[in-house]
Amino acid sequence: MKETLRTVLRWLLAFAYGYAGWAHLARPTPFLAITPSWVPRPELVVAATGMAEILGAIGLMIPATRKAAGWGLALYALCVWPANFQHAFANIAIGGETLSWWYHGPRLVLQPVIIWWALWASGAVNWPFGERDK
């Protein structure tokens, strides 16, 4: 059961990151809007993050690269967290529309879950479902 769940969550995560990566490359404007001002060369950073998401999604599906992809996507999710804060606290409109705290609150709070998800779905960690050390 645990391995079935891990496989399903890995596929969901790979799909989500693959789609997000495509969106970063195909429609960078919203991502540029939420990039903090201290980030150098935001166009390059948004394109690089899109490629990282796509490569991470592919890496999750290849057993030989799965754990490395999990660590990479976890680190990626940690590194883009400032953009999520920027989006929330600067109340940045995307396409003329701002999002409420019903979006931003859960998004900010659940970022650690996304980090864990990448690690667990890739098999990089087993917590909390693994055996405890004796």
Q: What is the reported pTM?
A: 0.86
* Model confidence at 105: pLDDT above 50: yes
Q: Is the dihedral of CA 66, 46, 18, 109 positive or negative?
A: positive
**Rounded mean pLDDT, 2-9:** 91
Which tens digit of pLDDT belongs to each residue from 62-87? 999 999 999 999 999 999 888 888 88
The span from the CA of 38 to the CA of 40, in Å, is: 6
Calpha distance 31→37 (Å, rounded): 12
How far, in Å, CA of 59 to CA of 70, rounded?
8
Tell whether the model's pLDDT for residue 133 goes beyond 70.
Answer: no
Spell out the residues 6+ positions from residue 23 whose beta carbon is closer than 8 angstroms to its own. Answer: 31, 50
- Give the model's pLDDT for residue 131: 60
Q: According to the model, what pLDDT value does residue 41 have?
A: 96
Q: How far is CA 104 from CA 2, 42, 43, 98, 109, in A?
A: 31, 22, 23, 10, 8
